[in-house]
Amino acid sequence: MGYKSLCFGFSCILFAYFLYSPIPENIEEPWKVRYLDATVKVVSYMATLFENIGLMKYEKLFSTSSVFYITQAVSDENVTVIDTYFSNIPVRLYVPKRKPERKRPAVIYIHGEIKAYDNMNRLTSNKLGAVVLGINYRLAPKYPFPAALDDCVSVTKFFLQDKVLAKYRVDPTRICIMGDSSGGTLAATVTQLLRNDPEFRNRIKAQALIYPGLQMIDTFLPSHREYAHGPILIREVMLKLLSLYVANDSSLIQASLRNEHMPEESRHLFKFVNWSDFLPEKYKKNHVYTAPVLGKLNASYPALVDSRLFPLLVNDSQLQNLPLTYIVTCEHDLLRDDGLIYITRLRNVGVQVIHDHIEEGVHGAISFTTGSVVLQLGFKIRSRYIRWLEENL
């Protein structure tokens, strides 16, 4: 009992401290953003504390805090919502009730806790008359790389079968893959893998990547430096959670925080993420490019050099034939430069990219459109994305 009240008191003090820490000036609804930012930071500090005293694994507290958003499959007047399995993997389908005049478009939506995105998928389905397919893939650290990717690929291939598309009256020429944050990473990889697979080469019309993370080999991009302490996404938290997806090894986390985690044999990959080459001048500011420090870690992790984990690590010929791409980047987001670098690389090889940069944006805004604290910014990004779908799918 004693330690619980101690923890509670400690959390309150931390919360008050973070609540009053400064955030960038042009952010809308600054107190709500401060509140969310402080919440993430307190969870992170408490998780570190709990782990250090052996009470709970760091990542456990994060997964515990996300269950609040889980919703049941409930149909409404416009959309039939079904929980089912594709290829033995749990999925949630949103099928419009109104009779289609022609075949329907479809959106394959990739995000870890897909059930948290119920509103957005319902809205997409209703506005576009689209079938939305959410994939409940297996999550790290319980299921490390490439479990999540394997699930997404299996479900997507299952869905793309003629008989399945016909069952839901989906037009095979109007299918988009979409994901935000780590879901954006998976969406980008699934799109690449299908594009380079002769059987599926032309099956995806478009991809939509909302503030995606696309690499972890250089953890000192300008946006990593500027927004290391948030708002909302913190460098240390991101690297800890990402490292756990690669391997259960704390030395990897420590090394990645110092940007000294890559092996000697990875030197050839750095040209794919070189911000000095790919970042528009505006975002370079007065940051100085530093060459990577390689070979400091003794253990090597094959996943770290695997383009199926980090879609920026493929060469130009593998990017060349990617479909129409929509990318949202947020200014105040440590993943900003991942998206910006991908945009430059895609455009360099002739891929058509529509870029929506949100000047007052923060990471994860779309997640804050349900629950107790909602951000207008989240609604704004959501409606811009849906409008893009209406015009392009």
Active-site residue set: 181, 333, 363
- Should residue 268 be labelled a site residue for ligand NAG when binding is judged by CB under 6 A? no
Q: Residue type for 35, please? A: Y
Among 317, 359, 372, 391, binds ligand NAG (CB under 6 A): 317
| Interface residue with ligand NAG, options 30, 100, 141, 263 (CB under 6 A) | 141
Contact between 186 and 152 (Cβ < 8 Å) = yes
- Our finding on whether 202 is near ligand NAG (CB under 6 A) is no
Residue 100 engages ligand NAG in binding (rule: CB under 6 A): no
- According to CB under 6 A, which one of 63, 78, 254, 392 is a site residue for ligand NAG? 78
Q: Does 63 bind ligand NAG (CB under 6 A)?
A: no
126 contacts ligand NAG (rule: CB under 6 A): yes
Query: Interior CA angle at 376 toward 370 and 379, to 5°?
Result: 65
- Per CB under 6 A, which region of 23-31, 83-91, 312-320, 383-391 contacts ligand NAG? 312-320
Integer angstrom CA distances of residue 228 from 2, 232, 237, 336, 358: 34, 10, 10, 12, 19
Rounded to 10°, the helix 30-52/58-66 angle is 140
Look up residue 180 and give its two tokens.
């935000």
Examine residue 125 and tell whether it contacts ligand NAG (CB under 6 A).
no
Interaction between residue 76 and ligand NAG (CB under 6 A): yes
Query: What six digits make up the tokens of 327?
Result: 């990318």
Residue 257 CB, shortest distance to ligand NAG, in Å, is 15
CB under 6 A: which stretch of 8-16, 76-84, 187-195, 223-231 binds ligand NAG? 76-84
Is residue 332 within 8 A of residue 362, CB to CB? The reply is yes
**CA–CA distance, 273 with 216 (Å, rounded to integer):** 10
Helix (H, G, I), strand (E, B) or coil at 48: helix
Residues with Cβ within 8 Å of residue 126, at least 6 apart in sequence = 78, 79, 96
Contacts (CB under 6 A) with ligand NAG, residues 204-263: 248
Site for ligand NAG contains 75 (CB under 6 A) = no
Q: Is 265 in the site for ligand NAG (CB under 6 A)?
A: no
CA angle 347, 131, 79 (to 5 degrees): 135
Give the nearest distance from C-beta 281 to ligand NAG in angstroms. 13
Q: Count CB-CB contacts under 10 A for residue 22.
A: 9
Nearer to ligand NAG, 178 or 273 (CB): 273
Binding residues for ligand NAG, rule: CB under 6 A, are 76-78, 126, 141, 248, 270-271, 274, 276-277, 289, 291, 298, 315, 317-318
